C-alpha cells in the first residue's frame, strides 16, 4: 500500500488577549479570569486547510501539521510560550458509548486527545510530520494543538475543527488484528521452548551425575 500525506495548516488566532491561566485545578490569582479547564483556556480559532484526503491508514500514512502565529496580534503576545504540543483527538462520532474516550472540561480527566503527535519548542511558525502509529485504532479524528508555558501548563489551544467538532474531520483505519494461525504458531513455539528447556535441563543434570 502506497503512503499518503495529509496536510493541516493551523494559525494561532486568539480573539481575546492571550491570558495565562493558573494551575489546572483552579485559580488562586484573582487577576486571572480563566479557571483550569479546557473550555476556559484562551481559544484561538485555529484555521485549518486540510488536504482532500479523508482516510488514512495506521502505520502507513502521514499527517503534516504547520502552525503560525497570527501576525495581527500585539507584539510580545507569545512571550510566555515555550512549547507547542500537537495531539490527535477523537471526534464525537467515535466517542459515543465509549467512556474511555470521554470528553471532560478538566484537562487532567479529558480523554479526547489521547495520542501525542509531537511536542516542539515554541516558534512563531513551525511544521511537524507525524506517521500515524500502528497502535492508533480505527476512528474519526481531528488535530488539536496546545501552547505550553515554562511550567508545561496549557495556556491556549486551537483545533482544526469547529467548536462542535463536526467539520474538517478525517478517518484513520487501524491495523487489523493478528491472524489465528499466527497466534497458534506463537503458542506452539512457546510450548516447544518450555519443553526444550526442560529437556536440556534434565540432560545436563544427568551429565553432572556422571
Q: Are residues 109 and 161 in the same domain?
A: yes
State the residue range of the domain holding 30: 5-173
Q: Are residues 47 and 125 in the same domain?
A: yes
Q: Are residues 28 and 68 in the same domain?
A: yes
Strand partners, 87: 116, 144
Grid cell digits, residue 70: 497570527
Grid cell digits, residue 173: 483505519
Residue owning grid cell 518450555: 194
Phi, psi of 105 (to 5 degrees): -60, -30
Q: Which of 60, 69, 51, 85 is nearest to 12 (CA)?
A: 69
Q: Are residues 169 and 183 in the same domain?
A: no
Q: Report the distance separating Cα 148 and Cα 92, nearest Å.
A: 25
Sign of the dihedral through C-alpha 116, 76, 124, 71? positive
Query: What is the SS3 assignment for 175?
Result: coil
Strand partners, 131: 62
pLDDT at res. 94: 95
Q: Are residues 76 and 155 in the same domain?
A: yes
Q: Are residues 103 and 200 in the same domain?
A: no
Domains contained in the chain, number: 2
Sign of the dihedral through C-alpha 106, 109, 115, 119? positive
Q: Report the distance separating Cα 123 and Cα 145, nearest Å.
A: 13
Cα separation values, 95 from 58, 90, 112, 125, Å: 19, 7, 8, 32
pLDDT at res. 108: 81
Q: Are residues 149 and 51 in the same domain?
A: yes
Q: Are residues 111 and 204 in the same domain?
A: no
Query: What is the SS3 assignment for 183?
Result: helix
Supply the pTM of this predicted model. Answer: 0.66
Grid cell digits, residue 197: 528447556
Q: Are residues 53 and 98 in the same domain?
A: yes
Residue ranges, the chain, pLDDT below 70: 1-53, 70, 177-210
Q: Are residues 108 and 139 in the same domain?
A: yes
Amino acid at each position: 500500500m502506497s503512503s499518503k500525506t495529509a496536510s493541516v495548516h493551523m494559525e494561532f488566532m486568539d480573539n481575546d488577549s492571550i491570558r495565562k491561566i493558573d494551575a489546572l485545578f483552579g485559580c488562586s490569582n484573582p487577576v486571572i479570569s480563566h479557571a483550569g479547564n479546557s473550555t476556559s483556556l484562551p481559544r484561538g480559532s485555529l484555521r485549518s486547510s486540510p488536504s482532500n484526503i479523508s482516510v488514512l491508514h495506521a502505520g502507513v500514512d502521514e499527517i503534516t501539521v504547520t502552525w503560525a502565529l497570527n501576525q495581527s496580534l500585539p507584539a510580545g503576545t507569545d512571550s510566555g510560550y515555550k512549547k507547542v504540543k500537537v495531539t490527535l483527538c477523537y471526534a464525537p462520532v467515535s466517542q459515543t458509548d465509549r467512556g474511555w474516550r470521554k470528553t471532560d472540561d478538566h484537562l487532567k480527566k479529558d480523554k479526547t486527545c489521547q495520542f501525542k503527535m509531537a511536542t516542539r519548542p515554541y516558534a512563531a511558525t513551525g511544521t511537524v510530520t507525524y506517521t500515524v502509529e500502528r497502535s492508533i485504532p480505527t476512528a474519526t479524528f481531528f488535530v488539536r494543538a496546545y501552547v505550553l508555558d515554562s511550567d508545561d501548563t496549557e495556556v491556549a489551544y486551537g483545533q482544526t475543527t469547529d467548536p462542535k467538532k463536526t467539520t474538517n474531520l478525517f478517518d484513520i483505519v487501524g491495523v487489523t488484528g493478528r491472524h489465528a494461525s499466527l497466534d497458534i504458531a506463537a503458542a506452539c513455539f512457546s510450548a516447544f521452548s518450555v519443553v526444550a528447556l526442560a529437556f536440556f535441563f534434565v540432560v545436563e543434570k544427568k551429565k553432572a551425575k556422571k
